[in-house]
Structure 1
Amino acid sequence: MIFAGIDPGSTTYGVALIDQTGRLVRYEEYLTDLVEKDSSSIINFILKYKPSLVALPSGHGLPFIRSKDIDEFKIFLMTLSLTDKGPLHSFLRASRLMNGVTIPSVIELTSVPSHRKKNMIDLGTADKVASAFFYRSMFDSFVLVEAGSKFISVLVVFGGVIVDGLGGSTLPGSAGFMDGELAYIMSQHKNLTKRTIYSSGEFKRALEIVEIFSTYYSRLYNIPIIVSGKRKDEVPFGKKFHFRFKEASVGAAYIASAISGFRFKEYIEMLYSSGTAIDYVEIEEWGEVITWIKTRFQTKTETSDS
């Protein structure tokens, strides 16, 4: 029996396949730039192994939606992008051929207190949850710093569940973070795009904020700080492990196994979740924004059906 997991990285997509004992059977990486043009090659590679379940990649996650039920609105909820284009959009559409399931991001986890979610979206994307699940197989409690090629984030796992986190778009210094005043000024000139927001970032500043956050929780709970990601060796603190695979991809495969009731099912509490990433926003006029978005997708559906 085979289970698969995918890590949708900024530079590469990592694909991991494990058996029912949790042993890594195969691992491959694909350039992210090529995913949008040829998602089918990754899908076909996975299908050769006839996996019982595939933990699908996503940005902001959804709790356990089957691939056959993923429509365009659900793709929006996972990507929070209205462009209809991009490697993740392409892969999620192609994934309908597989027995796949979505996994949650941090904000959807019931273990995270509600006051930490208010007016937030990115407390850590679904691939960060997968990385945490991977290290949960080694540690009961820890702080996980993910230093990727563009983004940096930090999660807190205590007593086997995630209790707090800061995602790339909410952590000063990480690509994706933008000061609210700056966002306002930019928006007066032109519509803000993710490309514009993701062009920012100052790794040195991000490390300062991450170290403050991580050290606080490490001391509070007396737990280790673990550092993963492509730029882990640039982080001057924490424990580092070196694997021949991306932790998030193997962690996602572990999640597929756990959901199916096999290896790692004892850690399933970490995945208890509900809702969507946009459920906790309460700012003025947000309801009008959501109505506009839903109307947009409803119109698209009606147009395509006709």
Structure 2
Amino acid sequence: MITIGIDAGTSKWAISVLEEYKEKGKTKAKFKFETTIPTKEIKSNTNAVINLINLIENFNADCITLPSGYGLPLKHISELSDDDLFKISIKNKDEKESIGIRKFLYEVKKRNLNGYVIPSVKHLPTVENFKKVNVIDLGTSDKLCSAVYALSLSKNFKAENFILAEIGYGFNAFVKISDGKICDGIGGTIASSGFLAHGRTDSEINRNADKFSGGVLSVIKQKVAPDDFFKNYKKFENGGLAYNYFTEGIIKDISALSDLKISKIYLCGKISGFVEGEIKEGLEIKFGRIFVTKNIEKNVKGANWSSASRGAAILANGINKGKFKNLTDRMEIKDAAGDIFDYVFI
């Protein structure tokens, strides 16, 4: 069985191809191909979208997990409507930020590939409804996929309790796992500041704010690579302010989701490797107990996969009743329901 997962990230799209096979009577799985494409290329170049889909089509995949943004209850690409596309991006079709995913999904639909749009954290029945009131972003569909990848690394995923902290280039987001199920989350638009974007912001400030401003780069008033900043943040104007604003925000968000069962923090995302030690130290000072931090993503510049792309491929395998079906069933993906605008009373 071949399944494919696609992660449409802020700075790059990642594609992971998972192969399930038999060896000496045992069912095994391995990632046989992975690659990345700059997001700006997908958004600006129609040929890049066509080439990507041609690449995917060549694998003759049994099932594909498609980039799903804010998500929908599990839905085959052939059933996707314009209203669904709006809910995935919360953008109209002519708005720039939605163009990449829209072009991609339209083309996949035309090719009749066996692909699925998946839920976000808010759609899951494992998240109590009161946590969904007046919020849309409890964690987008790619964060759900990152959590799936983290759980797949465990020998006993049903007993796992941890918080997944995705510290990406654009946004930060946090997903809480209890007994192997997602039970809560803080999505990027309501989380602490990311490296690029402001995340949660005072509503009075937010009236005219650019979605991709207000993060570390805005505080230091220049555009630099993450490794340049974190290696010597003190040399930048407002460098100390930006660093503390960023790291303390992460610690606060993890703390908000923590309980006595949580002693493990899984990290992923482009920025995660730069702040792992700071997060561990900050949590241990705050709670007075030991936390284990583990980076589940190779924090190597130019890495050709993401935890979300791998998790998406694993999810496709489970949806297609493969080796990871028990994990997919545990997450109750097929029982996801509702709408991202449910429980909004404003």
TM class, shorter-length: 0.7 to 0.9
Q: 1:201 offset after TM fit, Å?
A: 2.1
Amino acid at match of 1:256: A
Q: 1:183 offset after TM fit, Å?
A: 2.7
1:199 aligns with 2:251: no
Residue from 131, 144, 166 that aligns with 1:129: 144
Map of 1:118 onto structure 2: 133
Alignment of 1:78-227 (within 5 A): 78-84=88-94, 85=96, 86-96=99-109, 97=111, 98-139=113-154, 140-174=160-194, 175=197, 176-184=199-207, 186=208, 196-202=210-216, 204=243, 205-215=245-255, 217-227=257-267
- Structure 1: how far apart are the matches of 2:255 and 2:193? 18
Task: Spell out, residue by residue over 1:199-220, the C-alpha distance to the aligned partner (whole angstroms, 9 max, x if none).
Answer: 2224643432321332454552
Amino acid at match of 2:337: S
The alignment partner of 2:200 has SS state of coil
Q: 1:73 offset after TM fit, Å?
A: 1.2
Alignment of 1:196-275 (within 5 A): 196-202=210-216, 204=243, 205-215=245-255, 217-235=257-275, 236-237=278-279, 238-243=293-298, 244=303, 245-268=305-328, 269-270=330-331, 271=333, 272-275=335-338
The alignment partner of 2:192 has SS state of coil
Q: Is the 8 A contact 1:144 1:227 kept in 2?
A: yes
Could you say if the C-alpha distance between residues 206 and 166 of structure 1 is closer, same or farther in structure 2, counting changes exceeding 3 Å? farther
Identity value in percent: 30
Amino acid at match of 1:149: Y
Could you say if the C-alpha distance between residues 133 and 242 of structure 1 is closer, same or farther in structure 2, counting changes exceeding 3 Å? closer
- Structure 2: how far apart are the matches of 1:64 and 1:242? 26
Q: Is the 8 A contact 1:178 1:197 kept in 2?
A: no
Q: What TM-score results when the alignment is normalised by the length of structure 1?
A: 0.84
Q: How many residues align?
A: 274
- Structure 1: how far apart are the matches of 2:318 and 2:114? 15
Q: 1:150 offset after TM fit, Å?
A: 1.0
Gaps of 5+ in 2: 21-27, 155-159, 217-241, 280-292
Amino acid at match of 2:42: V
Q: Is the 8 A contact 2:296 2:307 kept in 1?
A: no
- Structure 2: how far apart are the matches of 1:11 and 1:101? 23
Residue from 37, 52, 55 that aligns with 1:30: 37
Amino acid at match of 1:275: G
CA-based RMSD of the aligned residues comes to 1.8
Q: What TM-score results when the alignment is normalised by the length of structure 2?
A: 0.75
Shifted more, 247-256 versus 164-173: the winner is 164-173
- Structure 2: how far apart are the matches of 1:73 and 1:134? 29
Gaps of 5+ in 1: 187-191, 284-306
